Structure 1
């Protein structure tokens, strides 16, 4: 009996090892960008949950690690990781993009609740100072930013970026800062500071993606990863799962 039991244990362990060996790892660089990507929270973020479910029934295993935004982009461009979460196309046009997006970001201006200024096109920006995260796309403001760099204080994005911008507003160092609406409101609410700030208008929305490395030597496997992503996302949409995931974060589905 003992010999039979030992034989079964050996078969089980061998089978588990074989399954593990068949799985291919997708190395993913991500950022701390709650409620989209929340590495230090009980709920990992709706984009993280989407991607995990997309690849959940495949032979891919996801290894997601968190980095500052500029470093994450650099790593995926060099082929040090397979993919990055989650740029808009304008932020990194040189990367490889699947057909389906994983969300939409709305870039908005934020200022003190006591400030009556509102964004109303580029003419409303004259004479003001703005905080901006490095390596982010400002959509229709990209040209204006390039022509008027003296009005923009760029700072690398990291987990304390939003709270640091809020402090700069309080100290009068900037008139407003520009960042994604969901993350800014979420972070300031979590810090019990939202009542002291407000959104002062937004630029256009942009789809965000799980974007892949353009490294030439990796393109065969990257194409397979992208195909698996699109097939998985299509299936999730068919089953109406994305809206349910987003509801857990108090968000509406973007489609």
Structure 2
């Protein structure tokens, strides 16, 4: 039996035990469904991995412990936001903590902290202890992220955006940019997907630029607030029983180092 199968079997056993001893208050929710819309974001939420990804599996278990059934739908990001606006779904997983998201949703407690890091070729030495060290260096980021604005706020303006991180990697190898910025998880998954002939030695530059928390967003209604509170209770149980760490290990999810330049809330 492989390590993954052993881990899955242990998780199932834990879930069954916890379901038996679930609070009586959760029993009244039995068989109620929570509609959750997600986007493709490996390894967090995806149609390509078992259990729909790490955060989907954690959310499913947390709700199950509260007597609720998670029903997942995966769509593009714009469609997911529209579904929330139109009341076609109960929740969106995951979203970053931000002032805008706090205004338009009921946000759960953090489901994961994510580090954003700079990555350079090992052969290219770049002195770095603070973001200000990077003024004058060319940085590649991905479109539809907040990185370009974050860097501009720090006085860093040599930033080039592309549609996908693989394009930044190829620009990095070709010497057209000096480093790239993305979540460490995204960068590691991208590197793992490369054929051997395209792999070059790289360095993740410490400390991370920032750490941001991911959350489940619930509709801005009284039902949404109630579901958010129920979900938070389920998450507390998932964490306290060790299921949270077991699921992240199962999906090989990178943890935050907790040493970022800035903690973004």
TM-score (norm 2): 0.70
Q: Paired residue for 1:240, among 236, 239, 242?
A: 242
Show the counterpart of 1:145: 152
The equivalences for 1:30-69 within 5 A come to 30=39, 32-42=40-50, 44-57=52-65, 58-68=67-77
Show the counterpart of 2:211: 205
Give 1 or 2 for the bigger CA radius of gyration: 1
**1:82 Cα offset (Å):** 3.4
Matched pairs, number: 222
Show the counterpart of 1:250: 252
Contact 2:105 2:218 in 1 (8 A): yes
**1:210 Cα offset (Å):** 1.1
Secondary structure (helix, strand or coil) at the match of 2:64 reads: coil
Question: Does 2:178 correspond to 1:172?
Answer: no
Structure 2: distance between partners of 1:176 and 1:72: 31
Q: Paired residue for 2:161, among 154, 158, 162?
A: 154
Show the counterpart of 1:185: 188
- Cα displacement string for residues 189-240 of structure 1 (whole angstroms, at most 9, x for unaligned residues): 23245543221231132221112344xxxx0221122122111111112222
Secondary structure (helix, strand or coil) at the match of 2:110 reads: coil
Contact 1:83 1:211 in 2 (8 A): yes
Show the counterpart of 1:15: none
TM-score (norm 1): 0.72
Contact 1:185 1:194 in 2 (8 A): no
Q: Paired residue for 1:196, among 201, 211, 217?
A: 201
The equivalences for 1:85-104 within 5 A come to 85-90=93-98, 92-93=100-101, 94-104=103-113
Contact 2:114 2:211 in 1 (8 A): yes
Q: Aligned pair in 2 of structure 1 residues 130, 136: CA closer, same or farther (>3 Å)?
A: same
Structure 1: distance between partners of 2:247 and 2:83: 29
Secondary structure (helix, strand or coil) at the match of 1:86 reads: strand
- Cα displacement string for residues 32-81 of structure 1 (whole angstroms, at most 9, x for unaligned residues): 3222233213463211110111122433432231424x664565456554
**1:105 Cα offset (Å):** 0.3
Runs of 5+ unmatched residues, structure 2: 1-30, 259-265
The equivalences for 1:71-86 within 5 A come to 72-73=80-81, 76=84, 79=87, 81-86=89-94
Structure 1: distance between partners of 2:37 and 2:170: 32
Structure 2: distance between partners of 1:240 and 1:117: 40
Show the counterpart of 2:133: 124
Query: Which range moves more in the overlay, 51-60 or 87-96?
Result: 87-96
